[in-house]
Structures are given as structure tokens and as C-alpha cells.
Structure 1
Amino acid sequence: MNFEHTEDRRMLADSLDRFIAEQYAFEARDKIARSEQGFSTRIWEQFAELGVIGALFREKDGGFGGGGFDVAVVFEALGRGLVVEPVLGAVMAGEAIAAAGSEAHKEQLAGIIAGSTIAALAHDEPGAHYALAHVQTRAERSGDGWLLNGAKAVVPQGERADLFVVSARTGGADDDEAGISLFLVPAKTQGLYVRGAPAIDGGRVAEVAFDGLKLEGGALLGSEGQGYPALERAIGRGVLALCAESLGAMEAAKTATLDYLRTRKQFGQLIGSFQALQHRMADLLLDVEQARSAVINAAAAIDGEDRVARERALSAAKASIGRIGTRVAEESIQMHGGIGMTWELPLAHYAKRLVMIDHQLGDEDHHLQRFAALGRQALATAH
């Protein structure tokens, strides 16, 4: 299999890297990340103009990419720049709409790709512990429509979202895969309450609550109670995106650490000449390459028809990224010494983001268990 990027992907990566270097330097990024809005509308619109959002969607959905490697290329560049704009929400909500929505629903994709509609996937709930099928938010029939009650937690950039894709239970027990439905909920719908807060690694997140929220029948994505496969695909693309973002952040942290070892002197010598640090740096370089291999494997598998193979590749990548990202963060700071902990140094922010990515959409332990469970499922099916 040829893992080299196409000319179009290389051009997109080069353009995005150049844009981030020129318009999203660390000082500018830090100001944006700590702002009241949590991201820059101007940068978001420029991402759309550059085709960054369109590259994440398939041609049949109005984009010009949409493959696993397109997602990986874009998010690796975003990771290098510590970008906080709501690209992850566009990927996951857009995939859910594309996978389960009708032609009328898919008209929303044009606005997402153009940057005029900010979309968010509201799925995770308090106490779910990453379990994908754990949904307590309820949707009940009300005339020709639906009545929605419940709450969602830690929705990235949820305060500024124009449109939510919401998972809600229309049947079954709280942890059943069957009985989960997906709904399109405009942000201005009466009965929708959003409370935002700053995220520890920059940007903002929100708690979203539904109190007797009324939806028309057309708000349902796909068939009632059959939303789990589309939800799994949406979360899967989010997992790939986070793994690629982590890889970009690792590369930035690695480069910063190498530069520091080549310039910092102690006892009259460059600390990069000390053998103990050389060994630690060599181990770190190998770890980053292992992470890259995991991302490549997940990107290659994500569009496959074999669900178990796809989901195992994604969980394997996320578990590896969680472990390696934390190690890169720790080792980079250790080799920088005390200055590695200072707020003014970009490295501290990369380290924080690397650690937090492990806790988004399932941490290392969760995905190791999921990888094993999927393996047992595949074995049972084979026999």
C-alpha cells in the first residue's frame, strides 16, 4: 500500500502550515485561546476560504477530500499550530449528517464547509466514562415531533455553535446500542441551555441541557433508534482527527526540545552532547515515529467496510497516542528543565494539549479495553 500523500494533500498541508506560521504564531494563538469567544472568527473564515474544512468532506457531500488521510493531513497541521478553532466539531457533526441524514439534512453541510455554520456533536454525558452507547438524554414522541430532555457535557466550542447533532435515547436501556437516535438541533431552539467555560488547554467547552425542547419530526437523522452506527462513524473520525492533531503537537514539542539541546549550555558544554540526554532523545524520536505509524494505520482503515477492523485500528491508534503523547510531554519538559514549565514558553502549552487529547473521546485505558473486546468479538464471529 502506498502511504505517500497525493500532490493535492501535500499542497494543502504546505498552504496550511504556511498560513499557521504567518497568521497563528504562538502569541496570537495564546490571545485567541484565552479570549471570551475561545476562537477567532476571522481565522475560521480564512480556514474555509483555504479549503481546510472542505478537505474534510467527501465530494458527494460537497467537499473535495474526506478520506482518512485528508483528515490526518489537516489535523496534523492544526496540532503543530495548537489551533483552537471548531474544526473537530465540523468533522464529527458533519460525518453524522452525511452518514444518517436525508438530502434535506445534507443541505446543512454546505454551510459547515463554507464556514458560515458552526456545528458541534453533543453526545458525551456526565458519568458515561467514554462508553459510546451510554445515552440517558431522552427523546419522546410529541404529536408529529419530539420532546427532548437531558444534558450533554464538555462540548467543544458549544457556546458558539449554530447547529448541534444530539444523541438521544428513543428506546432501550441506558447502555443499549439499539434505541439511540440522532437529532439536528438549531442553537436558537427554545428549551436549549448552554453554559460555557474555558478549557484547561485553551479554547472553550460547554455544558448543553435540554428542558422540554420541542423538535419537528424532520429533526430526526435517519431511522428512529438506529443512530448508533452513524454515531460510531462520527466519533471514529473524531478519534482519527485527535490522533493526527496529537502527532502534530508531538512533532512541534520534539523540534523545540532538539533546538533547546543544541543551544543550551551547562558546564561550558551544549547539553545535547551529554550521552544520557542523547539516549532519551533517541527514545523519544522512536516513540514519535511509532505514533505516526499508528495514525497512518487508522487513516488507512477508517473508510474500510470491515467495521471491527476499522474500530480496532482507531482504538489502537488512540491508545498509542495517549501513551506516547504523555511521554513526549513529560520528556520534553524534563529535558528543558524548569523553563519547560513556564507559561511564556510554547512547550508548556503543547505538553498540556498532549495530555488532554488522551482524555478526549476515550483515554488510553478505555481504548485498550475496547481494542481487546473487539478482538474477542472478531474471534467469536470467525468461529
Structure 2
Amino acid sequence: MDFSLSEEQQLLKDSIEKFVSSDYDFEARRDLVNSDLGYSEAHWNMFAELGWLGMGFSEEDGGYGGSASDIMVIMQAFGKGLVIEPFLANCILAGGAISELASASQKDSLLASIIGGEQQMALAYAEKQARYNIANCLSRAEKNGDGYVLNGAKIAVLNGGNADTILVLARTSGDQNDKAGLSLFAVPSNTEGLERARYTTVDGFTGADIKLSNVSLPASALVGEEGAAFEALERVMDRACIAVCAEALGNMETLLIKTVEYSKTRKQFGFTLSFFQALQHRMAEMFIECQQAQSMLLMAAMKFDASAEDASTAVSAAKARIGQAAKRVGQEAVQLHGGMGVTDELDVGHYFKRLTIIDALFGNSDYHLKRYTAAMG
């Protein structure tokens, strides 16, 4: 089986890595994190011009690729540079939900604005009581004439503070944990009754908690068919898991390189750290963790692209294993750098923070291990 990248994927990988090495140094990233927007609008426009924002969508949807393998290439390269721009929130989560659910006319308007970089979007699905269960939804959308009235609250909405349009998951029928009866609505962020509490997460990204109080929407705000959002969003979450696993792999590979380089220059007891065999073994184990993570990621992406019956099981296996690897590699990198490994001035601690958050996104290692074992019987 051929695991090599296609010519187009290799060109994509090279272009992103060139951007990271030349235009995305750590100090520049810190300035972006501390800015009002939380990312670079100029970078985002460049992503659109180069076609990166359209790589996650099929040609039928106006994109240039659409495979999980394409997303894997992008996110792994972004992970190496700790890229802060909201690609995950726009192109994987919100864009993925629109691609799965929306009508042709809705795709023409909503997806085109994402691919062109003209509009920021966010997917609001998580609630405080849900614990990674999409179906556990208390937000409700009640029929009101020709439209709907939304009430409820969402937490940890990635890019929620910057989004022009927020895709809100709400229950149009059924009880709290029913898989049927969930619908998705496109809500402009300036709609009366929608409140946002914006914040910066520990890894430097932006999020928001959202409250909906008697938000009136026209029937056209419904994305796709009423009550049929659950299965589509499960596929979106699986794809998002592949994306963040690829980002984690890029993080881990960078931490390994930085740790090895540091061990060759830092001296202790008159010798460089790389001289000590016990530390050599620890760095060798970091390398093994990265290789195993890459294998698990490739398996998940290929099964997802092939629409294999066990694709979701493979995704959970990868998410659980890569979450464990991320913890191991991140902790070793911090410890081998000593106290400076957790200072704000050194990028190592920031990679570790991102890996910690990635483990929690879309279900942590424990959640996906349980999901995997349940699927395996």
C-alpha cells in the first residue's frame, strides 16, 4: 500500500511549511494571540488566495480536494508552526456541517464565503451537561409561524467571538438525549437575543460561550432538513478528530526536534545532555510515539476517505492513541528542557498547552477508548 503523498499534496505541504518557516516565527505568533482579533486577517486572506481554505471541500461544493488526507497534510503543517488562524473552526467544523447538511443554494452562499475568506463562521454544538455527547442537547427551536424561536446556551464555541455567522444546534423535537429531532440553524452574530462571552483559551486560540434568548429566525435559517442533523454532525466530528490528530502530530514532531537540538547544546556536569544514555532513551521513546501516532493517523484518514464500515472506530482508536502520545511527548519535552520549558518566553510550553487542549477536543482519550471498545464489542 502506498502511503506517500500525491504531487498536489506534496506541493501543498511544502507551501505551508515555507509560510511557517518564513512568516510565522514564535514572536509573531505571540503578538497575534495578544491582538484584539486573535489572529492575522492578512494571513487569512492569503490562505484564501492560495486555495488552502478550499482544500477541505469537494469540487462539487466549490473546493479543490475534500479528502481527509488533504486535511491531514494541512493540519500537520499548521501544527508544526502552532498556526493560530481559525482553519479548524471555519473549514472543518462550520464548513463541514454545511457541506453535510445544506441545500445546494445554501452551499452556494455559505461555503463560497468560507472558501473565499469573506466570512468567519463557528459551529455551536457543545453544552455544559453534554460531556462530548452531541445528542445531549437542551437548546430548543420552537416553530413560530413561518420561522423559529431559539432558546438555550452553548459553551466552548471555537472562533465564536469572531464569527459573523454561528451555526447553532438546537432541538426541534424529542427529549434531551434523542438522536432524532436535532436541527442546525445559521444565526447571524448580530441577531437580537444572541449574547457572546468571548475569551482566549489556554493554548492561545479564541472561543466563546453563547446564550440564546428568544432569538427569532426565518425558515431560511434552517440548514438542511429539520430534525436530521445528528448523523451528519457525527461525521463532522470524526473528520475534526482526524484534523486535530494531524495537528498534534505536527506539534509532537516539532517538540522532538527542538528537544534533541537542545540536548546537544545544554551541558550538565561538563557533558551535553545528549551524552547521557538515560536521556537518549527518553528521546528515542518520543520518536517512537511520533511514529506510532503517524501510523494511527494514516489508518484513520484512509478508512474515512474510503467510507469503510469501521471508519469511526479507526478514528476513535487514533484519537485515543494520539492523545496518550501527545501527553507523553509533551511532558518529556517540558521536563528535558527543565524549568524554562514552561516559561512564556519559550515555545515548548505553548506546544504542550496546545497538545493538552487537543486531547480534550471532540472527546478525550478516555472517551474515545470507551467508544472504541464499545464498537469492538
Q: TM-score range by the shorter chain?
A: over 0.9
Per-residue Cα deviation, 1:116-150 (whole angstroms, up to 9, x for no partner): 11111110111211112111110111111111110
Structure 1 unmatched runs, 5+ = 377-383
Distance between the aligned counterparts of 1:302 and 1:214, measured in 2? Answer: 37
- Superposition map of 1:341-352 within 5 A: 341-352=342-353
Per-residue Cα deviation, 1:42-71 (whole angstroms, up to 9, x for no partner): 111111112111111111111111101100
Q: 1:18 maps to which residue?
A: 18
Residue 208 (1) aligns with residue 210 (2):
yes
Residue 274 (1) aligns with residue 276 (2):
yes
- Superposition map of 1:75-114 within 5 A: 75-90=75-90, 91-107=92-108, 108-114=110-116
Q: 1:366 maps to which residue?
A: 367
Determine helix, strand or coil for the equivalent of 2:197.
Answer: strand
1:143 to 121, 145, 166: 145
Q: Is the 8 A contact 1:38 1:157 kept in 2?
A: no
Distance between the aligned counterparts of 1:170 and 1:356, measured in 2? Answer: 31
The CA RMSD over aligned residues, in Å, is: 1.1
- Superposition map of 1:201-280 within 5 A: 201-280=203-282
Fraction of identical pairs, as percent:
44
Q: 1:44 maps to which residue?
A: 44
Per-residue Cα deviation, 1:276-313 (whole angstroms, up to 9, x for no partner): 0111111111011111111111111223334x511111
Distance between the aligned counterparts of 2:6 and 2:130, measured in 1? Answer: 39
Q: 2:290 maps to which residue?
A: 288
Residue 311 (1) aligns with residue 319 (2):
no
Distance between the aligned counterparts of 1:294 and 1:187, measured in 2? Answer: 38
Distance between the aligned counterparts of 1:79 and 1:149, measured in 2? Answer: 36
Per-residue Cα deviation, 1:136-184 (whole angstroms, up to 9, x for no partner): 1101111111111101101112111011221111111111111111111
Give the drift of 1:360. Answer: 1.0
Q: 1:184 maps to which residue?
A: 186
Distance between the aligned counterparts of 1:339 and 1:211, measured in 2? Answer: 46
Q: What is the letter of the counterpart of residue 65 of structure 2?
A: G
Per-residue Cα deviation, 1:257-284 (whole angstroms, up to 9, x for no partner): 0101111112221210111011111111
- Superposition map of 1:155-170 within 5 A: 155-170=157-172
Give the drift of 1:36. Answer: 2.2
Q: Is the 8 A contact 2:121 2:159 kept in 1?
A: no
Q: Is the 8 A contact 1:34 1:203 kept in 2?
A: no
Determine helix, strand or coil for the equivalent of 2:152.
Answer: strand
Per-residue Cα deviation, 1:214-236 (whole angstroms, up to 9, x for no partner): 11112212221111111111112
- Superposition map of 1:309-348 within 5 A: 309-348=310-349
Distance between the aligned counterparts of 1:298 and 1:36, measured in 2? Answer: 37
Per-residue Cα deviation, 1:77-136 (whole angstroms, up to 9, x for no partner): 111111111111121111111111101110210110011111111101112111121111
Distance between the aligned counterparts of 1:236 and 1:80, measured in 2? Answer: 22
Determine helix, strand or coil for the equivalent of 2:327.
Answer: helix
Structure 2 unmatched runs, 5+ = none
Q: Where does structure 1 differ by over 6 angstroms across 4 or more consecutive aligned residues?
A: none
Q: Please, which moves more after superposition, 215-224 or 55-64?
A: 215-224
Residue 27 (1) aligns with residue 35 (2):
no
Give the drift of 1:340. Answer: 1.2
Q: What is the letter of the counterpart of residue 103 of structure 2?
A: S
Distance between the aligned counterparts of 2:33 and 2:24, measured in 1? Answer: 11
Q: Is the 8 A contact 1:100 1:230 kept in 2?
A: yes
Distance between the aligned counterparts of 1:89 and 1:204, measured in 2? Answer: 10
Q: Please, which moves more after superposition, 296-305 or 112-121?
A: 296-305
Per-residue Cα deviation, 1:204-263 (whole angstroms, up to 9, x for no partner): 210111111111112212221111111111112211111111111001111100101111
Q: 1:380 maps to which residue?
A: none
Determine helix, strand or coil for the equivalent of 1:206.
Answer: strand
1:123 to 117, 122, 125: 125
Number of residue pairs matched? 375
Distance between the aligned counterparts of 1:205 and 1:249, measured in 2? Answer: 21
Give the drift of 1:35. Answer: 1.8
Distance between the aligned counterparts of 1:259 and 1:309, measured in 2? Answer: 40
TM-score by length of 1: 0.96
- Superposition map of 1:372-383 within 5 A: 372-376=373-377
Distance between the aligned counterparts of 2:32 and 2:146, measured in 1? Answer: 43
Q: What is the letter of the counterpart of residue 197 of structure 2?
A: R
Distance between the aligned counterparts of 1:195 and 1:338, measured in 2? Answer: 34
Determine helix, strand or coil for the equivalent of 1:263.
Answer: coil
Distance between the aligned counterparts of 1:303 and 1:215, measured in 2? Answer: 35
Distance between the aligned counterparts of 2:330 and 2:263, measured in 1? Answer: 16
